[in-house]
Amino acid sequence: MRPAMPQMDETDKISWEWGNKVLYRMCREEPGHTDRNKVAAKLWLIGRAYAAQIERRAGATGESEALYAKVATKIVKSDIDKWLEDVADIDRPDISNLQEILSANYKFTSLLKCVTKLGLRSLASKYLHFHRPLYFFIFDYRSSTKIREKIGRRHIPLPAYSADQEYAAFVLRCMTYRDEKPAAEHDLTPRQLDQELLGY
Q: What is the pLDDT of residues 56-71, one digit of tens each?
A: 655 555 568 899 999 9
DSSP 8-state secondary structure symbol assigned to residue 157? P
Sort residue 72 into left (φ over 0), alpha (ψ -120 to 50) or beta: alpha
Whether 174 and 181 have beta carbons less than 8 Å apart is answered as no
Distance from C-alpha of 184 to C-alpha of 25, rounded to nearest angstrom:
28
Distance from C-alpha of 101 to C-alpha of 74, rounded to nearest angstrom:
21
DSSP 8-state secondary structure symbol assigned to residue 179? H
**Dihedral, 106, 111, 117, 120 alpha carbons, nearest 10:** -50
Domain extents for the chain?
14-198
pLDDT band at 2, cuts 50/70/90? Answer: very low
Closest by CA position to 45, among listed 71, 66, 27, 58: 27
pLDDT band at 4, cuts 50/70/90? Answer: very low
pTM attached to this predicted model: 0.89
Whether 139 and 163 have beta carbons less than 8 Å apart is answered as no
Q: Tell me what pLDDT residue 91 has.
A: 85
pLDDT band at 7, cuts 50/70/90? Answer: low
Q: Tell me what pLDDT residue 189 has.
A: 94
Closest by CA position to 63, among listed 51, 75, 55, 71: 55
Could you give the percent of the chain with pLDDT greater than 90? 70
Sort residue 156 into left (φ over 0), alpha (ψ -120 to 50) or beta: beta
Mean pLDDT of the 131-144 span: 96
